[in-house]
């Protein structure tokens, strides 16, 4: 191959690599824009992990070796900078359960089966906010710089035959997510 053909081939290869790199950057930027602008716009409960010990789920299990095999995780994405979030629901029939929020750092403030205060009707109300809210006995404090967050419900050793009870999620007197039984 002569020098001019080699130069033309290398030029075409370099141009192709630059176009591919540009497409990758464009894809990542577009995906990031959609992800960050949609955060908390359509909140709903997402089952994060369930039946982790089943062989069919092994590819997912390999990435999460610390997940307790008898635990279910449910998450909902919310924007805490839009106001306090209140969870209302019935405690699940389980040996242990907790509600935790994660605001982008390794914070782990939570309410759990051992420290939750239930109302006369057996239901709980948990406020996730900077300051405690009047009329809400359970409070998970957040720092003022937290914008988007994940609220996680962890249920360990659910009683056999009992459904998972997920709470309603409220913000500014608006129902964001309906409570569900799964």
Is the CB of residue 149 less than 8 Å from the CB of residue 104?
yes
Same domain, 14 and 75: no
Same domain, 18 and 107: no
Same domain, 18 and 99: no
- The Cα angle at residue 64 between residues 59 and 68, in degrees rounded to 5: 115
Is the CB of residue 111 less than 8 Å from the CB of residue 181?
no
Residue 18's pLDDT is what? 93
Residue 93's pLDDT is what? 86
Q: Name the domain count of the chain.
A: 2
Same domain, 154 and 83: yes
Same domain, 92 and 73: yes
Token pair, residue 84, equals: 């306090």
Residue 58's pLDDT is what? 56
Token pair, residue 111, equals: 């309410």
Same domain, 10 and 92: no
Residue 94's pLDDT is what? 86
Nearest alpha-carbon partner for 114 in 95, 130, 100: 95
Same domain, 60 and 91: yes
Residue 2's domain spans which residues?
A: 1-38
Residue 178's pLDDT is what? 87
Same domain, 5 and 69: no
Same domain, 133 and 150: yes
Is the CB of residue 169 less than 8 Å from the CB of residue 151?
yes
Report the distance separating Cα 173 and Cα 24, nearest Å: 42
Q: Residue 150, CB half-sphere, CA atoms under 13 Å: how many? A: 16
Share of the chain above pLDDT 90, in %: 33
Same domain, 98 and 22: no
- Residues of the chain with pLDDT below 70 are 1, 35-41, 49-69, 104-108, 181-182
Residue 86's pLDDT is what? 92
By CB neighbour count within 10 A (0-12 exposed, 13-18 middle, 19+ buried), where does 169 fall?
buried
């Amino acid at each position: 191959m002569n020098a001019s053909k080699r130069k033309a081939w290398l030029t075409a290869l370099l141009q192709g690599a630059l176009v591919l790199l540009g497409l990758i950057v464009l894809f990542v930027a577009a995906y990031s824009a959609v992800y960050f602008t949609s955060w908390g716009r359509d909140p709903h409960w997402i089952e994060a992990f369930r039946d982790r010990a089943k062989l069919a789920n092994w590819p997912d299990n390999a990435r999460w070796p610390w997940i307790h095999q008898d635990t279910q995780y449910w998450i909902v994405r919310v924007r805490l900078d839009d106001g306090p979030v209140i969870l209302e629901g019935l405690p699940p029939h389980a040996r242990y359960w907790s509600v935790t929020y994660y605001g982008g750092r390794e914070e782990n403030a939570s309410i759990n089966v051992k420290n939750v205060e239930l109302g006369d009707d057996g239901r709980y109300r948990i406020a996730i906010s900077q300051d405690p809210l009047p009329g809400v006995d359970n409070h998970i404090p957040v720092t003022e710089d937290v914008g988007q967050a994940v609220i996680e419900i962890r249920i360990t050793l659910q009683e056999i035959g009992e459904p998972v009870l997920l709470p309603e999620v409220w913000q500014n007197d608006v129902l964001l997510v309906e409570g569900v039984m799964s």
